[in-house]
Amino acid sequence: AHGTKYWDNDKPRIDWKGMEGEDATNAITCNVFQGSGYQNQKWGTERKVADTFEGYDFPIIRYAEVLLNYAEAMYELGTTGKALDDALNISLNLVRLRVNPDMPKLTTSFVSENNLDMREEIRRERTIELYNEGFRIDDLKRWNTAIVEMPKPILGVKWTGTDFATSWAGASTMAKDSEGCLILEGGRRWGSKNDLYPLPVDQCQLNPNLGQNPGWQ
C-alpha cells in the first residue's frame, strides 16, 4: 500500500527489528502513484546481496503448492463434511494460517454460514498464495474459466471514492470501470483455441502426422 515502509537490496534491513530499531532509518516509503496503483514485493530481498548473487534460491516447487494441490484434489474428488474439513486442516489451512493465525479456517461450516462456495474459496486461496508464480493462466485453462476471465479488462486499484481520488490526481484521466477501478488494458480476446498452444512449425515439418491443434491451422 502507498506509504508502507519496506526494504530492498539497496536499502536493506540493519537489525531486523522493523520500525522499532535501526531498520526504521533505512526504510523506503512505498510510492504506488503509477501504473496499476499496486506494488509487488514478492521474492524481493530485504538484505544486502552482492551483484551476480540471487537474494533467494529459485523455487522449483513449493510446499504450499503441494498442500493446495491436495486440497483442490480432495474437493474435486467429491470429499465433503468432516472428511473435507480434515483434508483442509492438513493442507490449505496450514497455508492460510501460517502468516496470520487469527484467520478463520476454511471449513464446510464457515462456507455455509457465510454463503460462500467451497470451490471458489479453494481456488481463491490458490490464487492469492501463488500470485506472480506463473500458475494463473494454466489454472484458468484447466478450470475452463479462461474463456470468461481472460477477456475481462486488466484492472488497477479502486480510484473513485477512495483516498487515491485526492492523493493521485494524475489518474483522473485514466479509464475506469463501473466501480471506479482503473482500467489498465481493455479489448482483450480469448477463444477456445487459446486453451492449447500451437505445435511448433519445425516439429510439424519433421512429422506431418502430428497435425496441428484446433484453431491454429
Q: CA quadruple 39, 44, 50, 52: dihedral positive or negative?
A: negative
The domain containing residue 29 runs over which residues?
1-59
Domain presence at residue 138: no
Q: For the residues 109-114, what does the mean pLDDT come to?
A: 98
**Mean pLDDT over all residues of the chain?**
93
- 154: cell is 486488466
Q: Are residues 11 and 27 in the same domain?
A: yes
Please say which residue of 59, 85, 103 terminates a domain: 59
Q: Would you state the pLDDT for residue 178?
A: 96
Domain presence at residue 141: no
Domain presence at residue 200: no
Model's pTM, two decimal places? Answer: 0.84
Domain total of the chain: 3
Provide the β-strand partners of residue 185.
154
Q: Are residues 115 and 67 in the same domain?
A: yes
Q: Is the pLDDT of residue 139 over 90?
A: yes
Q: For the residues 14-36, what does the mean pLDDT come to?
A: 89
Domain presence at residue 137: no
Please say which residue of 12, 37, 59 terminates a domain: 59
Q: Are residues 55 and 67 in the same domain?
A: no
Q: Are residues 77 and 31 in the same domain?
A: no
Q: Which of 176, 136, 173, 170 shows the shortest CA–CA distance to 156? A: 176
Q: Would you state the pLDDT for residue 56?
A: 65
What pLDDT, in 10s, does the model give residues 147-194?
999 999 999 999 999 999 999 999 999 999 999 999 999 999 999 999
Q: Are residues 127 and 172 in the same domain?
A: no
Q: Are residues 73 and 126 in the same domain?
A: yes
Q: Is the pLDDT of residue 39 over 90?
A: no
- 127: cell is 490464487
Q: Are residues 79 and 53 in the same domain?
A: no
- Residues contacting residue 71 through CB under 8 Å, at least 6 positions apart: 87, 88, 91, 92, 122, 125
Q: Are residues 69 and 122 in the same domain?
A: yes
Please say which residue of 39, 59, 79 terminates a domain: 59
